[in-house]
Structure 1
Amino acid sequence: MERVAVVGGGTMGNGIAQIFAMNGFSVTLIETRQELAEKALSTIEKNLGRMVSKEKISEEEKEATLERIESSTDTASAVKDVDLVIEAVPELYDIKKKVFQTIDENAPEHAIFASNTSSISITKLAECTGRPEQFIGMHFFNPVPVMKLVEVINGLKTDPEITDQIISLSDQLGKVAVPANDSPGFVSNRVLMPMINEAIFCVYEGVAEPEDIDSIMKLGMAHPMGPLRLADFIGLDVCLDILEVLYEGFKDPKYRPCPLLVKMVDAGKLGNKTGEGFFTY
C-alpha cells in the first residue's frame, strides 16, 4: 500500500493526511473548494512546524512530509490510482453516501474504502458501494497526530483479510488498532456520549455549574479533561449528531439528547470552533 486519498480536509482529515505523509505514504487531500484545501495544507504545515520547534522532527522531515501531500478538488480523478481512500467529511449519512458513490465509480478494483465516521453504521455506508467486503471503519481520535487509538470497525460483510491489513497499517502509523463490530456509536461514543449528555443534563437541571461538573470528573475520576470541556473540543454539533444516531439506532430514551444541547447548537454555540460553548474561548 503506497497511495492514499483522504476526502475532507477538516480537523480530522488534515490530521489523517499528516500522519500518513509522515510515515512515507503519498497522500492526496481532497476538498470541495481550493481555499479549503489550502487551509488544510496550511494547518498541516503549522502542526509540523510546532513539532520541529519541540524537536520531535527535523526541518528536513517536515519538508519531506509536505512534499508527499498534494491537494485536489476533483474526487473522481484523485482516486483513480489509490490503494486506500479514507473519508472524513461531516457526520451526515447523505454527504458520505455521495462521496462513496463517486469513489466507488472511479477507484481501482483493489482499493480499500475506510470511513472515519464516529457513529454511522459501517454496514450501511458499505452498501453505498459495490465492494462492501473491502469497506471498513477507521475511527481516528482528535488530535490525530497525538492520539494513539484507531477504532477499527468491521461491517457485516467486511473481509477479515481487510481487517488484518488495516490493523497492520495502523501499526505502521504508530497507532494502536482496537477492533469492534458495527453498532451505533461503536464502543467509544456509545460509552462517551451518554456521559457527556448526562453532564449537560446536570447543567440543564441546575445541579452544578459547568466548571464544577468538570472539576468533579477530573479530580474524582481522573479524567484529563472534563466532559463539558471535551464536548466543546469535539464540537457540540458533532455531539448532537452522534447522540441522534444512537437514539435512532437503539430507540432507547437513555440516548435522548438533552434539550440544552439542542438549544445551544441551534444558537450556534458549538464550542471551540465558534469561540463559545459551555466555556468561552
Structure 2
Amino acid sequence: MQNLTVLGTGVLGSQIILQAAYHGKDVVAYDINDEILGKLPARWEFLRERYLADLPDATEEKVDAAVARIRPSSDLADALKDADLVIEAVPEVLDIKRDTWAKVAAVAPEKTIFATNSSTLLPSDIADATGRPERFLALHFANEIWRNNTGEVMGHAGTSADAFEDVARFAEQIGMVAIRVKKEQPGYVLNSLLVPLLSAAADLWVRGVADIETIDLTWRKATGAPAGPFQIFDVVGMETPYNLNVRSDDPVKREFAEIIKRDYIDKGRLGLAAGKGFYDYEA
C-alpha cells in the first residue's frame, strides 16, 4: 500500500494527500483540471504552518520531503496507473460519487483497493458503481487529520475481510488511529455524534434563538470543548454543510443551506482554509 491516489484536492482531500506523503507514501493528487491543481502549492504552505505549529516532530525538511512525494495529475488514467489504494474525496453528492467511481473502475489496475471518504453516505449506496464491490469500503477522516487523527474503516456486506484489514493497516501507517466500524452506519461513529450538534447549532441560529458567537461560547464554556459548532463548521468548510442541507426535507435546514450559499460561499467565505468563514482568520 505504498502508492496512493486521492481523488479531489479540496479541504479534506489535500489533508489526506499531505498526511500520507508526510508518512512516506507516494501520492498522486488528482483533480478535474490543472487550474484547480495549480492552487495546491498555496495549500501546502497553509498546511505547512499547521504541521509546524501542531506537531512536535514536524520540521521544514520533513514537510519539504512530503511535498516532494506528491505528484499532481488531471488525467485519471495516469493518476491511477500505479495505485495500490484510491481514496475518493469528491463532493458529498451521491450521483457525483457514483459517476466518479464508474470512471475509476474503467481504468484502475486490478490490484487497487477503492475507498470513499464520504461523510454520510453508506458504502452500499456506491459499491455496485465501482465494479469491484468486494474491494470497496469507506475510510473516513476527521478534519485536521494531522492532529484529529482518526481513520474510521467501514465496509459493506460485500467487502472482503482482507481489503478491510489492508485499509485499516494503511490508516495506521499514515499516523491514524484505525477505528474499525463493525456495521454500516450513516455518519460512522464520529459524525453520528457530531452532526446532531452541528444541526442543533444551525437550527438555533436560523430561528434567531441565539447568535453564532453566543452558541459557540455556550458550548465551549459549558462542556470544556476547545471549539464551538460554528468554529467546527469553519474547519470543515462551507461546501459540506451546504451539500448536506440543501435538499433536506426540513425547511430550517434548507434555509441554513441558502444562507451559507448566499452570505458565505458566494462571498468567498469558505471557512478556515480560505481565511474567513463564520469567523475571520486572516489576521
TM-score tier by shorter-chain length is 0.7 to 0.9
CA distance in 1 between counterparts of 2:246 and 2:163 reads 29
Alpha-carbon distance change, 13 to 118 in structure 1, aligned in 2, over 3 angstroms: same
Partner SS, residue 142 of structure 1: coil
The one-letter amino acid of 1:113's match is F
1:41-87 Cα offsets, whole Å, 9 max, x none, are 43124423664588733443233222211111101222022100111
Match of 1:136?
137
2:262 corresponds to = 267
Give the aligned partner of residue 2 of structure 1.
2
The more displaced of 219-228 and 57-66 is: 57-66
Amino acid at match of 1:72: S
Question: Is it true that 1:122 corresponds to 2:117 in the alignment?
Answer: no
Aligned residue for 2:185?
A: 183
TM-fit CA distance, 1:232: 3.1
Count of residues paired in the alignment: 274
For the 8 Å contact 1:185–1:242, the answer to whether it is kept is no
Distance 1:57 1:204, change over 3 A: closer
> Is 1:23 matched with 2:23?
yes
Q: How big is the shift at 1:146? A: 2.3
Change (3 A) 1:38 1:162: same
Percent identity reads 30
Q: Aligned in 2, Cα 1:233/1:68: closer, same or farther, shift over 3 Å?
A: closer
Aligned residues of 2:149 and 2:175 also touching (Cα < 8 A): yes
2: CA distance between counterparts of 1:135 and 1:7? 15
- 1: CA distance between counterparts of 2:224 and 2:52? 31
| Alpha-carbon distance in structure 2 between the residues aligned to 1:213 and 1:12 | 25
Q: Name the SS of the counterpart of 1:214 in structure 2.
A: helix
Structure 2: gaps spanning 5 or more residues: none
Give 1:257 deviation, angstroms.
5.0
8 Å contact 1:101–1:128 — kept in the other structure? yes
Give deviations 1:228-259, integer Å, cap 9, x for gaps.
222233234412433578x68xxxx7xx7535
Determine the structure 1 residue equivalent to 2:169. 168
The farther-off stretch of 130-139 and 265-274 is 265-274
Q: Distance in 2 between matches of 1:134 and 1:117?
A: 16
Q: 1 CA distance for matches of 2:234 and 2:68?
A: 33
Q: TM-score, normalised by structure 2?
A: 0.86
Taking structure 1 as the reference length, what is the TM-score of the superposition? Answer: 0.87
- Cα distance change on mapping 1:67 and 1:205 into 2, 3 Å: closer
Checking the alignment, whether the CA contact within 8 Å between 1:4 and 1:85 is kept in structure 2 is yes
Distance 2:50 2:154 in 1: 32
Q: What one-letter code is carried by the residue in structure 1 that aligns with 2:164? A: T
Match of 2:33 in 1: 33
Superposed structure 1 runs of 4+ greater than 6 Å apart:
none
Extract unaligned runs of 5+ from structure 1: none
Q: In the alignment, what sits opposite 2:223?
A: 221
Q: What amino acid is the match of 1:31?
A: D
**Distance change (3 Å), C-alpha of 1:269 and 1:63:** closer
**Contact in 2 for aligned 1:3/1:82 (Cα 8 Å):** yes
Q: Deviations over 1:119-177 (max 9, x none)?
A: 11211211111111101111112112222111112122111221111111111111111
Shift of 1:196: 1.4
For 2:100, the aligned partner's letter is V
Aligned AA (1:85): V
Q: How far apart, in 1, do the equivalents of 2:63 and 2:278 lie?
A: 36
Structure 2: which amino acid aligns with 1:4?
L
2:204 matched residue in structure 1: 202
- What's the Cα RMSD here? 2.5
Deviates more, 1:20-29 or 1:48-57: 48-57
> Structure 2: which amino acid aligns with 1:182?
E
Is residue 2:206 matched to residue 1:211? no
